[in-house]
Amino acid sequence: MPLVAHSGLPTFEQLRQQGHDLLSLERAVHQDIRELHIGFLNMMPDKALQATERQFIRLVGGSNPIAQFFVYPFSLPGLPRAQETLDYIEKYYASFDDLRRDGLDALIITGANVASPHLYEEPFWDPLVEVMEWANENVTSVLCSCLATHAVLEHLYDIQRRPMERKLWGVFSHRVCEPHHPLLREINTRFDVPHSRFNEISRAQLEDAGLPVLVESEEGGVHIAASPDGFRVIYFQGHPEYDVNSLLKEYKREVKRFLAGELDDPPPYPDHYFPPAAEALARAHLELAIRARDAGESIPKMPEGDIEAHLDNTWGDTAKAIVNNWLGLVYKLTDLDRKKPFMEGVDPADPLGMGR
């Protein structure tokens, strides 16, 4: 069932123009359909704030449990923001105090940029801990993405992420480790997921803490893990929400940094992402750009559209299927009163009935 465009958030109109099914608030209140209210804690930096918002809301809207989805973006105080972004958040985002008062059925937490060697030194740490402590008692399930996964695991289990020898960057093949887990019901047993990170949490670290690993890649490491009960918290290390051109935009930023002298060497191509035709276009652009820079001439623009025409999205359908299963479980396990996360008769220690 559709998303409800319950506010003037520009993402709603953008998704409508892209053909997604949305209900106006006026129509939604006249539908005799159960609602799910989902918080979306967006900690991404300014340049990625709205794109990340759109990507995750699109995943929610692509789900099909019999429910109307109300999504409430909010952010945290203390994150470095330009005034324009602060104005956008003030106009379109909810406040955590209001969401805490009214209740939520589920919560999604995004990644963030970090500058400190330790996550607990970041300005988002204390506000994030406050949100997570409340969610543990009041929300049926929390889905954490990338950096949020690392921060929440450190807070809850004292698991320290570890730096990798080089940035993990590209699209990697993954395999389902627990095919009978309800989150993974009827999805492909092997599928792709984009990754983009410098740090990782390993299978051994997760298993030592009693956290089941659900999806893993030989090259990319763990993608999905869960809390010991299998559902209260879902951890993503990859980026299944990415657009087909998200890694291309990251590559473009790295090329600009190299041309500006911030990097000693040209950036590598994201692994398993550029087919030969796209790689040839990227290489030709870089050669022209280097010559123009060295000659003191204007640097030509990267032919993003031409490169993107050769790229394939090999992860989106599985991402929607997993989020669909997650929201279906939220629907099943949430009491109609959102201040009560589990229905009567459901064991909070084993909500999925898997005997953990």
Domains of the chain: 3-242+314-333 (3.40.50.880), 246-308 (no CATH)
Q: What is the pLDDT of residue 198?
A: 94
- For 40, 158, 181, 232, 254, the CA distances from 143, given in Å and listed in that order, are 10, 19, 16, 9, 29
Query: Which one of the listed residues 181, 223, 239, 285 is annotated catalytic?
Result: 239
144 carries an active-site annotation: no
Query: Which one of the listed residues 53, 200, 216, 241 is annotated catalytic?
Result: 241
The residue ranges of the chain whose pLDDT is under 70 are 1-2, 20-23, 25-32, 65, 336-341, 343-345, 355-356
Q: What is the pLDDT of residue 11?
A: 84
Q: What is the pLDDT of residue 32?
A: 58
Q: What is the pLDDT of residue 6?
A: 80
Q: What is the pLDDT of residue 31?
A: 59
Q: Which residues contact 19 (CB under 8 A, 6 or more apart)?
A: none
Q: What is the pLDDT of residue 2?
A: 65
**Three-state SS across 53-100?**
HHHHHHHHHCCCCCCEEEEEEECCCCCCCCHHHHHHHHHHCCCHHHHH
Q: What's the pTM?
A: 0.90
239 carries an active-site annotation: yes
Q: What is the pLDDT of residue 221?
A: 97
Query: Which one of the listed residues 146, 174, 177, 285 is annotated catalytic?
Result: 146
The answer to whether 330 and 199 are in contact (CB under 8 A) is no
Q: What is the pLDDT of residue 34?
A: 79
Q: What is the pLDDT of residue 321?
A: 94
177 carries an active-site annotation: no
Q: What is the pLDDT of residue 351?
A: 80
